Structure 1
Amino acid sequence: MRGSPDDTPADLRSGLDLHLDLTGDRGVGRSLETALREAVRRGRLTAGTRLPGTRSLAADLGLSRGTVVQAYTQLIAGGWLTGVPGSGTRVTDVLPESDTSETADHGPPELRATALGDLRPGRPDVSTFPRADWVAGVRRVMAAMESEQMGYPDPAGMPALRSAVAEYVSRTRGVWASAGSTVITAGFTQALALLARTFRGLGTRRAATENPGFAAHRELLAAAGIDPVPLAVDAGGSDPARLPDGAGFALLTPAHQHPWGVVLAPGRRSAFIDWARRNDAYVIEDDYDGEFRYDQQPVGAMQALAPDRVIYAGSTSKTLAPGARLGWLVVPAPLRRPLLRTVRETGSTPPVIDQLVLADLLSRGSYDRHVRRARLAYRRRRHELAERLAVVTDTPLTGVAAGLHTLLPVASEAAERELVATAERAGLLLQGLHTADYWYPMDEERPAALLIGYATPPQHAWRQALDMLVSLVSGPSRTSG
């Protein structure tokens, strides 16, 4: 007679650990049956989950195998489990009729229907993530890495990635960087959280932030106990003449102001650095999409003008995908020790394997090749967007030809909100300066605009999203011409 899956030795069958409460006065058999039923009903054991074999579960729980067999048999009869020869015992795909309403009470809320088009800013086309390169990198890393590398990592990040990042930002963005000055983070949001906590510990209570600017960054600073003070932005970028008294740092996007899309003028770059030196302050340079300039060579990083006063920040969120959760800081010497203390206190070092894979892609040139492909694709999309909109509106797009988004000015806050709402009803996701809270404090007299994230849709959905946008804009005119 052939052995069943449950005849496999327990040490090979215990592939799934279960937390089961067998307390009660109903006997261990009934308690096991009840505990398994509740785990399924409450979603802790999801549809299709393969349960441990009866021998291994009995060994794990200190029960006789017969007790486990009886519990499984009762649950199969009741429709909670299914026993498939050669495949073991699994949670059924459809729960018994009497329990569907209770299950619904514990399930996740219903997700909104998938939109037909998504033109929200700040997102790359994640369908282009270089999966084959990443998988090959994982294989190389796992084959070569030493066991000791899987211990608690250096809070600054893996040396291989710090060296690779320092070489990359020096070569492509003109940053003055070394492995020793580089700290690896889980993207810019985490990097800013670490910096905010560090600056707060050093006595900073106020910081200058661009207006308009990303609302989540202001909220993050406020959560750390730092008051974000608005810094006006015009055609020359952030205005250093408006710097608030007592600010410990200024958070800037010099290469491509987010969201306005302008470049910080050379004279203003120098003025910010002079201010930082006079006041023992710093500039945090968020170079969030510096690799993507389409009409000329990218503007070099501001950090090269004053490595002792500018904290350079970059990430893979716009080049690879936000879900990669990898970024970096190039930190002036006086801030490195307090920043690394914050990293240790928060236990926030990114996973070792991910760091080593990114180092592999950078050192082999795979990352550069992916960025070049993405740059070409996004440049084409922006050109097509500008051409199509020029047919239906006289309002030009705002900002330089760079990054993953552009702005289309509209007549008023009310018009902006109406356009965003109309688009959403039609299945197109958009954001505006007012609807996404870029202005602070909010004021209906401030300029209004749609933020169009032309990089967001996957290639197969790009034309449909563009058609929907053109149809929206070509309706009753709300753009400001």
Structure 2
Amino acid sequence: MDRAEAAPPEGAIGSDFLQLDVRAAPPGGRADWLAGQLRAAIADGRLPVGGRLPASRVLAAELRVSRGVVTEAYRRLIDDGHAAGRGRAGTVVVAAPVSAPEPAPARPSSAVITRAPGLEVFDEIRASPARIDLTPGVPDLTAFPRAAWLRAERAVLAELEPSQFGYGDPRGAPAMRLAVSRRLARSRGIRVDPGEIIVVAGVAQALTLLGEVLRQHGVTEIAVEDPGSLGARQHLHHCGLATPPVPVDDDGAQIAALRAPAVLLTPAHQFPTGVVLGGGRRRDLMRWVAGGGIVLEDDYDAEHRYDRAPVPAVRSMLPEVCYMGSVSKLLAPALRVGWLLAPPRFRDELVAAKRFADLGNAVLAQLVLARLMENGELERQLRVVRTRHRRRRDAMIRALSAWVPTAVVHGAAAGLHLTITFDGEVDDVELAAAALAEGVKVQPLSWHRQLPGRPGLVLGYAARTATEIAEGVAVLGKLLR
């Protein structure tokens, strides 16, 4: 029998750590058994190199054994090189797994850009290494207001009642919904009661919730702009909805071409062309809605304007519109916070869909964002990034003029990206793949088309420096020549 071993006291035996249950140990061999269990966990990777083992006193209490059993098992791991004692830092795993799995063969980075992108294409593109990432839809993440966020978070935590750490309203924290309603009234011309707002995990979740609820109402297809977001189409397809295309011209989506019962629009800054839904088209849309049409409005890039007056949201004129917005393009996509406004006929079902999806967004982030909206920090952040993004847009326009002078530039007045189109026999998929092979990441315009159209590229500029932008565009120019 191990000298360190003693009979466990009465009561529950076992630990959450590795799901250890000392009753599985052979009589008189608990230290041997524990050491074997730890070696096996190191070998299969459950205990990674650098991982810290529980304090011997803590693990002994959980297993209901004497502390000597645990210290003896740890000593054996140290003796055979699996672990090392680090004083106050505890006992740390230092050995690699006995048989590490062979890594999967790396897929060539340019191979992710194909003519028929799959559901995983955006994950693959994000994971593909590149010296210069000109992916659209990403703000300057280095500008995230860390100091202001930390101040707001400390203030929120100081005021938070214990009950607020529990499950909340699936529609979102009341403070967040109030702050969003006030901000939408100030900046988007939308007057909405906080009770009508549902806080969601970005526009992506809003689309999924709307797709689910509209299917329950018999909707089988939602028309989308063409060109229009491939990602949005993928979300709607995941909901089992068809996405018939509606052509986009210099005045926005051609409302007269609508045949589906519902349509998804980006009227303030159409993705990817950057055009604004014109006044005549908005009047056409109002008549279409009066006839029973359902509008899903993605207020994409509405804050980022440089050379034009503010454009009101369609929802400010049509209360029947299902309106979506987020802070992904203003602060960071990683926050996964947005909002959904829905007409009364869908609201209860959307709240139910949100409840069963995740019981509601994380409350702490909502309360911090609400404070930043109410104390003016979010508007200050917008002024900072708007100036920076404008300089980078100008740098991209200069670089395109120098290196790709034959390209037509679209959407320069607002947003976080430019779209360029080409005349002639340019294959934008081949061009984007060749650029990625050279370390420059862009998106082919044809990804965002269902109808035939001119080839082109969608180029994000907000997250890159002027020097990087110039270098990336130079690569494109050389490839085109």
**TM-score category (smaller protein):** 0.7 to 0.9
Residues 400 and 305 from structure 1, CA distance in 2 versus in 1: closer, same or farther, beyond 3 angstroms? farther
1:339 maps to 2:350: yes
In the TM superposition, what whole-angstrom CA distance separates every residue of 1:267-313 from its partner, at most 9, and x where no partner exists?
1112122112212x321110121001110222111111111x21221
1:78 maps to 2:80: yes
2:474 aligned residue (470, 473, 477)? 470
- The answer for the alignment partner of 1:64 in structure 2 is 66
2:333 aligned residue (309, 322, 340)? 322
1:292 aligned residue (290, 293, 304)? 304
- The answer for the alignment partner of 2:100 in structure 1 is 103
User: How far did residue 51 of structure 1 move?
Assistant: 1.6
Distance 1:351 1:152 in 2: 9
Distance 2:457 2:144 in 1: 27
CA contact (8 A) 2:35 2:76 kept: yes
- The answer for the alignment partner of 1:143 in structure 2 is 158
- Where 1:313 maps in the other structure, the secondary structure is strand
- The answer for the alignment partner of 2:295 in structure 1 is 283
User: What one-letter code is carried by the residue in structure 2 that aligns with 1:376?
Assistant: T
Distance 2:144 2:325 in 1: 18
- The answer for the alignment partner of 1:450 in structure 2 is 457
User: What one-letter code is carried by the residue in structure 1 that aligns with 2:187?
Assistant: T
In the TM superposition, what whole-angstrom CA distance separates every residue of 1:134-154 from its partner, at most 9, and x where no partner exists?
111111111001111111111
In the TM superposition, what whole-angstrom CA distance separates every residue of 1:424-468 from its partner, at most 9, and x where no partner exists?
12211111112xx21126xxx5211111100122x4xx4124223
User: What one-letter code is carried by the residue in structure 1 that aligns with 2:341?
Assistant: V
User: What one-letter code is carried by the residue in structure 2 that aligns with 1:95?
Assistant: A
CA contact (8 A) 2:269 2:275 kept: yes
- Where 2:448 maps in the other structure, the secondary structure is coil
Distance 2:424 2:26 in 1: 69
TM-score by length of 2: 0.87
User: How far did residue 357 of structure 1 move?
Assistant: 0.4
CA contact (8 A) 1:124 1:320 kept: yes
1:132 aligned residue (143, 147, 164)? 147
- Where 1:103 maps in the other structure, the secondary structure is coil
User: How far did residue 87 of structure 1 move?
Assistant: 2.1
User: What one-letter code is carried by the residue in structure 1 that aligns with 2:350?
Assistant: L
1:417 maps to 2:429: yes
- The answer for the alignment partner of 1:9 in structure 2 is none
Residues 348 and 123 from structure 1, CA distance in 2 versus in 1: closer, same or farther, beyond 3 angstroms? farther
Distance 2:105 2:96 in 1: 16
User: How far did residue 388 of structure 1 move?
Assistant: 2.3
Residues 330 and 373 from structure 1, CA distance in 2 versus in 1: closer, same or farther, beyond 3 angstroms? same
Moved more, 363-372 or 445-454: 445-454
CA contact (8 A) 1:408 1:451 kept: yes
In the TM superposition, what whole-angstrom CA distance separates every residue of 1:61-109 from its partner, at most 9, and x where no partner exists?
12222221121111112221110223211111x427xx2xx12448998
- The answer for the alignment partner of 2:450 in structure 1 is 440
CA contact (8 A) 1:188 1:315 kept: yes
- The answer for the alignment partner of 1:5 in structure 2 is none
- The answer for the alignment partner of 1:364 in structure 2 is 375
- The answer for the alignment partner of 2:135 in structure 1 is 120
User: What one-letter code is carried by the residue in structure 2 that aligns with 1:62?
Assistant: R
CA contact (8 A) 1:424 1:430 kept: yes
Distance 1:344 1:113 in 2: 35
1:41 maps to 2:53: no
Distance 2:468 2:39 in 1: 46
- The answer for the alignment partner of 1:20 in structure 2 is 20
- The answer for the alignment partner of 1:4 in structure 2 is none
Distance 1:33 1:106 in 2: 29
Residues 394 and 61 from structure 1, CA distance in 2 versus in 1: closer, same or farther, beyond 3 angstroms? same
- The answer for the alignment partner of 2:399 in structure 1 is 388
CA contact (8 A) 2:438 2:475 kept: no
- Where 1:227 maps in the other structure, the secondary structure is coil
1:397 maps to 2:409: yes
User: How far did residue 201 of structure 1 move?
Assistant: 1.7
Moved more, 331-340 or 151-160: 331-340
Residues 463 and 310 from structure 1, CA distance in 2 versus in 1: closer, same or farther, beyond 3 angstroms? same
In the TM superposition, what whole-angstrom CA distance separates every residue of 1:211-231 from its partner, at most 9, and x where no partner exists?
122222222212222222211
Distance 1:324 1:113 in 2: 22
- Where 1:291 maps in the other structure, the secondary structure is coil
Residues 107 and 476 from structure 1, CA distance in 2 versus in 1: closer, same or farther, beyond 3 angstroms? closer
Distance 2:332 2:176 in 1: 18
Residues 476 and 223 from structure 1, CA distance in 2 versus in 1: closer, same or farther, beyond 3 angstroms? closer
Distance 2:210 2:166 in 1: 25
Give the % identical residues.
38
Q: Which runs of 5+ in 1 are unaligned?
A: 1-14
User: How far did residue 410 of structure 1 move?
Assistant: 2.4
Distance 1:183 1:91 in 2: 46
Distance 1:107 1:408 in 2: 36
- The answer for the alignment partner of 2:442 in structure 1 is 430
1:152 maps to 2:159: no
User: What one-letter code is carried by the residue in structure 1 that aligns with 2:267?
Assistant: P
Distance 2:286 2:39 in 1: 65
1:251 maps to 2:261: no
Distance 2:423 2:55 in 1: 67
User: How far did residue 400 of structure 1 move?
Assistant: 4.3
User: What one-letter code is carried by the residue in structure 2 that aligns with 1:359?
Assistant: A
User: How far did residue 16 of structure 1 move?
Assistant: 8.7
TM-score by length of 1: 0.87
Moved more, 320-329 or 211-220: 211-220
In the TM superposition, what whole-angstrom CA distance separates every residue of 1:97-142 from its partner, at most 9, and x where no partner exists?
xx2xx12448998996742100010111111111111111111111
Distance 1:472 1:224 in 2: 37
- Where 1:82 maps in the other structure, the secondary structure is strand
Residues 236 and 136 from structure 1, CA distance in 2 versus in 1: closer, same or farther, beyond 3 angstroms? same
CA contact (8 A) 2:432 2:441 kept: yes
User: How far did residue 413 of structure 1 move?
Assistant: 7.2
- Where 1:184 maps in the other structure, the secondary structure is strand
Distance 1:161 1:370 in 2: 18
Distance 2:264 2:40 in 1: 50
Equivalent residue pairs, number: 447
